[in-house]
A = this chain, B = another copy of it.
Amino acid sequence: MFMLGAMTSSKDAAAESVDLQLIGVLGEVVTAYYRDFADAAAEQGLTSAQAKAVVTLQEPTPMRTLAERLCCDASNVTGIIDRLERQSLVQRQPDQHDRRVKNVVVTEGGADAVRRLRGGMHATRAAFDALGEDDRATLLRLLGTLQPLLDTPT
């Protein structure tokens, strides 16, 4: 119902352009996905920002890189990683080649939290399960087409 979900309930829905409908429905899906993610994160005692950070940590990552990935200023990352480190979900490690750099790595506990987080996205998983095999494949293809375009530099 929100983000760009501007359609007036129903009346001229038929007359509405596919583009406008598309942007509205995508807005709703985005909102629902975000809520599901935030809820699952909260169940692990994490804020959305903390959850986003730990989920991206597939390999040791410098603070600076993390800032770019999270689309926020580097100064914010200090606090986010501080709080994750206090919960023993990540660790800061000195870089071998550049002593200015600190690489953030996930701990065992952090990896467990990520697994539980993924498992906790019930609404999203249920929505996919309800889709047929063919529809899932089609949706995957279409979203894949969308994704690189959305990766526009800010």
With most chain B CB atoms within 10 A of its CB, the pick from A25, A70, A143 is A143
Name the residue of chain B whose CB is nearest to the CB of A145.
B131
Contacts of A4 in B (CB 8 A): 37, 55, 118, 121, 124
Question: Are B55 and A3 neighbours in the complex by a CB distance under 8 Å?
Answer: yes
In the complex, chain B residues whose CB is within 8 Å of the CB of A149: 123, 126-127, 130
Q: Are A146 and B127 in contact (CB under 8 A)?
A: yes
CA distance A70 to B82 in the complex (A): 29
**Interface status of A139 (Cβ within 8 A of chain B):** yes
Dominant SS among interface residues on chain A: helix
Q: Does A12 contact B (CB under 8 A)?
A: no
Contact residues of A between 9 and 64, Cβ < 8 Å to B: 9, 18-19, 21-23, 25-30, 32-37, 39, 52, 55-56, 58
List residues of chain B with CB within 8 A of the CB of A2. 52, 55-56, 69-70
Show the binding face of A for B, using Cβ within 8 Å. Answer: 1-6, 8-9, 18-19, 21-23, 25-30, 32-37, 39, 52, 55-56, 58, 69-71, 114, 118, 121-131, 133, 135-140, 142-147, 149-152, 154
